[in-house]
Amino acid sequence: MTGAPELFALGDNCLDVYVEQGRLAVGGSALNVAAQWRAMGRPARYLGAVGTDAAAGIVRRAAAAAGLPPEGIETLAGATGVTLIRLRDRERDFLHEDLGVGPLWNPARVEETTAGAAWCHVTGTSPEAAIPQRLVAAGRRVSVDLLGRPNGDQGSLAGVEIAVTSCDGETAEAAETAAALVEAGARIGVVMRGADGSLALQAGRLFTAAADPIVPVDTCGAGDSFIAAFVAAHLDGAGVPAALAAATRSATRTCLHLGGFQQRDRPVPSWLAEQYAPHFDRPAPQ
């Protein structure tokens, strides 16, 4: 493993706060992907930003515990991202999302920092930063998670090797969504469908995979685990069907614990509960 080319996940991080349970975990799509790669034994790095608040320290400590080098996390003036979650019928319900300093992050030397990378995965970054396009232009192999941007807007997908999004519709609609990713420039368009499985389009061939029949503890971060495993299998030379199967297994494992990667969840600190008190006091939806 020593000296092996690194996998980079670039983009968002946050505190995932489970309101009814009074617990929190560290997450964010990009950080989840990087942590999953490290759990697989891959030489991974996370690049992103935290704020100047107490939440930043929680994110940094969790990233370090996951084995991610600390120098990839920048500090920007402002707040660290926070997502408030209610678990209802074992499905997540987002009550509030504060992106914090995440959209402000625009690394000036991302091409230099990722030199020699085996892979770069981008999500939760500002379209104005054009990070995927800059990495493609620098010759990196790139995947993009469109769920990290409002309306799925991540700019051009030209040169992107894998583009991922989700679809709640029927199979035909999901297939059209995958086709749109490919038409936008991605070589492989992947669509996650939750309990309905997933599908991927490559070179005109559509591949599908069923989800594992489980009773989830928490679905938060399952998609990030799916992406991490799909990319890892793809890097190892697996075909799309095998990559989908590996991704499904990884997502299933994540659904069986709280948070987007294996970590020790912790009580919500009083300062955080006070900061978002209206959401903690809100009655559960019927």
The pTM of the full predicted model, rounded to 2 decimals, is: 0.94
The string of DSSP codes covering 214-280 is ---S--TTHHHHHHHHHHHHHHTT--HHHHHHHHHHHHHHHTTSSSSSS---EEPPHHHHHHTHHHH
- Interacting residues of 212 by C-beta distance below 8 A, sequence separation 6+: 248, 249, 252
Residue 37 lies in a domain: yes
Does residue 2 lie in a domain region?
A: no
Q: Considering all CA atoms of the chain, what is the largest pairwise distance in Å, rounded to the nearest integer?
A: 53
The count of structural domains within the chain is: 1
Q: What pLDDT, on a 0 to 100 scale, did the predictor assign at position 154?
A: 47
Contact 172, 206 (CB under 8 A): no
pLDDT at 10 over 80: yes
Q: Give mean pLDDT, residues 105-114.
A: 96
Q: Would you state the pLDDT for residue 285?
A: 45
Q: Is the pLDDT higher at 47 or at 5?
A: 47
In a domain, 124, yes or no: yes
CATH classification of the domain holding 192: 3.40.1190.20
**CA-CA-CA-CA torsion for 225, 125, 80, 284, nearest 10 degrees?**
-60
Residue 83 lies in a domain: yes
The answer as to whether 286 is a domain residue is: no
Phi (first) and psi of residue 103, to 5 degrees: -65, -15
SS3 110: helix
**Strand 142-145 and strand 162-166: pairing?**
parallel
In angstroms, the CA 36 to CA 95 distance is 25
pLDDT of residue 211: 97
Cα 149 to Cα 12, 155, 189, 212, 269, distances in angstroms: 10, 10, 17, 28, 29
Give residue-wise pLDDT tens across range 111-167: 999 999 999 999 988 888 899 999 999 999 999 999 865 544 546 799 999 999 999
| pLDDT over 90 percentage in the chain | 86
Helix, strand, coil percentages for the chain (3-state, nearest 5): 35, 25, 40
| Residues whose CB is less than 8 angstroms from the CB of residue 89 and which lie 6 or more positions away in sequence, other chains included | none
More confident residue, 155 or 280: 280
pLDDT in tens, 242-270: 999 999 999 999 999 999 999 999 999 99
Look at residue 32 and tell me if it is in a domain: yes
**Inside any domain, residue 191:** yes
Output the pLDDT for position 1.
Answer: 42
Q: Which residue type sits at 284? A: A
Domain limits for position 40: 7-281
Cβ–Cβ < 8 Å for 18, 24: yes
Q: How far apart are CA 35 and CA 72, in angstroms?
A: 13
Closest by CA to 224, choosing from 37, 15, 19, 6, is 37
Can you tell me the distance from the alpha carbon of 113 to that of 147, in angstroms, rounded to the nearest whole number? Answer: 24
Residue 92 has pLDDT above 90, yes or no: no
The whole-angstrom separation of Cα 47 and Cα 109 is: 11
Q: What tokens were used for 113?
A: 């920092």
Pair of tokens at residue 102: 């995440």
Which pair of tokens denotes residue 263? 């970590």
Mean pLDDT value across the chain = 93
